[in-house]
């Protein structure tokens, strides 16, 4: 889960429901810690304060990259089959604009 200050009630509810069903919750949050930290199995915090008027997510982004590399190394070649399953779900639910059906539709619209 990703939940940074101003914590989102829908994210907290979703994480709580997943946890109640036995899902292992890994939380990426800021130094003040989302309410999810109370039941998460792993909590990874990052400083987000900066001199700009907005919090920065540069450090959390680096943390996610490091975790992704570590998971891929630990899974070995198996990470490719797991990623392929995620791509199938992404395509089935047309989550992004580059899914085959939406891509074909855009091409047809440009031609017509």
27-79 residue pLDDT tens: 999 999 999 999 999 999 999 999 999 999 999 999 999 999 999 999 898 88
- Spatial distance between the Cα atoms of 111 and 63, rounded to a whole number of angstroms: 44
* Structural domains present in the chain: 2-111 (3.40.50.10490)
pLDDT band at 100 (very low <50, low <70, confident <90, very high): low
β-bridge mates for residue 28, sequence order: 2, 44
* DSSP H/E element including 2: strand 2-3
What are 97's two structure tokens? 């604009």
- Spatial distance between the Cα atoms of 60 and 14, rounded to a whole number of angstroms: 21
- pTM confidence score: 0.71
- Spatial distance between the Cα atoms of 36 and 39, rounded to a whole number of angstroms: 6
Q: Does a cis peptide bond (omega within 30 degrees of 0) precede residue 16?
A: no
Collapse the DSSP code of 94 into the 3-class scheme (helix H, G, I; strand E, B; otherwise coil) and give the result.
Answer: coil
Neighbours of 4 (CB within 10 A): 19
What's residue 81's pLDDT? 87
């Amino acid at each position: 889960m990703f939940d940074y200050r101003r914590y989102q009630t829908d994210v907290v509810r979703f994480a709580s429901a997943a946890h109640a069903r036995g899902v292992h919750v890994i939380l990426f949050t800021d130094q003040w810690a989302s309410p999810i930290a109370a039941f998460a199995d792993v909590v990874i915090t990052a400083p987000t304060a900066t001199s700009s008027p907005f919090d920065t997510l540069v450090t959390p982004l680096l943390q996610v990259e490091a975790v992704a590399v570590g998971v891929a190394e630990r899974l070995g070649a198996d990470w490719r089959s797991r990623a392929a399953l995620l791509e199938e779900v992404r395509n089935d639910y047309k989550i992004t604009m580059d899914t085959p059906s939406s891509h074909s539709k855009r091409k047809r619209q440009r031609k017509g």
